[in-house]
Amino acid sequence: MTIQELQNCHQSIIPYIHRTPILTSNLLNKISGAQLFFKCENFQRMGAFKMRGATSAILKLSEIQKSKGVVTHSSGNFAQALSLAAKSLGVKAYIVMPSDAPQVKKEAVKEYEGEIIECPPTLKDRVQTATLIQKEKGATFIHPSNDLDVILGQGTAAIELLQDYTALDYIFTPVGGGGLIAGTALAAHFYGNDCKVIGGEPYEADDAYRSLRSGVIETNKTANTIADGLKTQLGDINFPIIQKHIYQIIRVEEQEIIAAMQLVWERLKIVIEPSSAVAFAALLKDKEQFKNKKVGIVISGGNVDLKKLPF
């Protein structure tokens, strides 16, 4: 990977994304002991950072590929992101969603003109259904996190953060499928001044933490976490980037996630989803390590069911 590839990716997606704000809080600085800079991707189009990677991936397709559409399997934010990115670029999007996906997320996909194909709620069925659509429609499959163009797109949030605040010591992101933290690690490597990237991960879905320790991609037998966006696992494209470039993964308990989420709602006055709160919870978990440091935190998204708040 080169800095030029990241720069080209960022320039290409600028017309289709928001440059999201960076918020600060004197009170949260006091509580954490660090100087915090929250990159608010909850204000991104469709409400999450994944709009960046989806747009990046579609833009790299040939005109013939675009004419046949794109397909992915997702029950959450990437389903919405690919639908909206495809709509913005005049491309058809086929979205494979498990039958038990939240209705609110299905409605959002429909609103962005994605065509939903439901399947049984297993990873095997999702993959098989997406593969069938590829064959039938000629659509190009775009993975939510294990795709190099998606990874580059996700890294653009950290590029903007480091453009505005050049002297960050650390950047925290949540860790799910690995696209965001891999892209952030590349951005910090090329744009940061010895800026270290740290992942936050629930104990209930700590496959990335275990993968770094074992050197192979681990899975979760269960993933009983409120951070529903972090239940996916790393892939063979993003894992080597993570191995090479990230500094640490800090695991957090469910109650710590909820407390961090509530703190952001109360003090920053913004809506964030539980997965986003994991990064902040990780900093608070080990705040002595980051005392008096300048720390960026990527708020990954704000798509939350307001009828199911944990506080």
User: Tokens for 304?
Assistant: 């939350």
Question: Both 61 and 157 in a single domain?
Answer: no
Together in a domain, 245 and 283:
yes
Pair 98, 76: CB distance under 8 Å: no
CA distances from 71 to 120, 132, 139, 201 (A): 17, 10, 6, 28
What local confidence, expressed as pLDDT, does residue 123 receive?
A: 79
Both 76 and 156 in a single domain?
no
What angle, 0 to 180 degrees and rounded to 10, lies between the N-to-C axes of helices 238-245 and 207-214?
70
State the Cα–Cα distance between residues 207 and 147, nearest whole angstrom: 19
Examine the domain organization and report whether 153 and 104 are in the same domain: no
Residues 166, 302: one domain?
A: yes
Vertex 2: Cα angle to 233 and 140 (nearest 5): 50
Q: Are residues 218 and 292 in the same domain?
A: yes
Of 107, 141, 175, the domain-final residue: 141
Rounded CA-CA distance 54/145 in Å is 10
CA 235 to chain centre: 14
The residues facing 252 across adjacent strands are: 202
Residues 205 and 114 in one domain: no
φ/ψ of 286, rounded to 5, equals -130, 45
Q: Are residues 205 and 59 in the same domain?
A: no
- Specify the pTM: 0.95
- The verdict on 78 and 192 lying in the same domain is no
Q: How far apart are CA 304 and CA 283, in angstroms?
A: 22
Q: Which domain holds residue 78?
A: 51-141
pLDDT for position 10: 98
Could you tell me which residues come within 8 angstroms of residue 305 by beta carbon, excluding any fewer than 6 positions away?
A: 102, 104
Contact yes or no for 17/52 (Cβ under 8 A)? yes
164 & 134 share domain: no
User: How far does CA 172 lie from the centroid of its chain?
Assistant: 12
Among 91, 121, 141, where does a domain finish? 141
Which of 141, 160, 185 finishes a domain? 141
Spatial strand order of the sheet with 93-98 comes to 115-119, 93-98, 70-73, 140-141
- CATH number reported for the structural domain that contains residue 246 in this entry: 3.40.50.1100
Structural domains counted in the chain: 2
Residue 310 CA to residue 226 CA, distance in Å, equals: 8
Helix or strand (DSSP H, E) at 57: helix 50-59
Give DSSP secondary structure letters for 119-153.
E-SSHHHHHHHHHHHHHHH-PEE--SSS-HHHHHH
Q: What is the mean pLDDT of each run of 10 residues along the chain (311 residues)?
A: 94 98 98 98 97 98 98 91 97 93 86 95 89 96 97 98 97 97 98 97 96 95 88 94 97 98 97 96 97 98 89 90
The answer on 180 and 266 residing in a single domain is yes
Burial of 135 (0-12, 13-18, 19+ CB in 10 A): exposed
> In this structure, are 199 and 278 located in the same domain?
yes
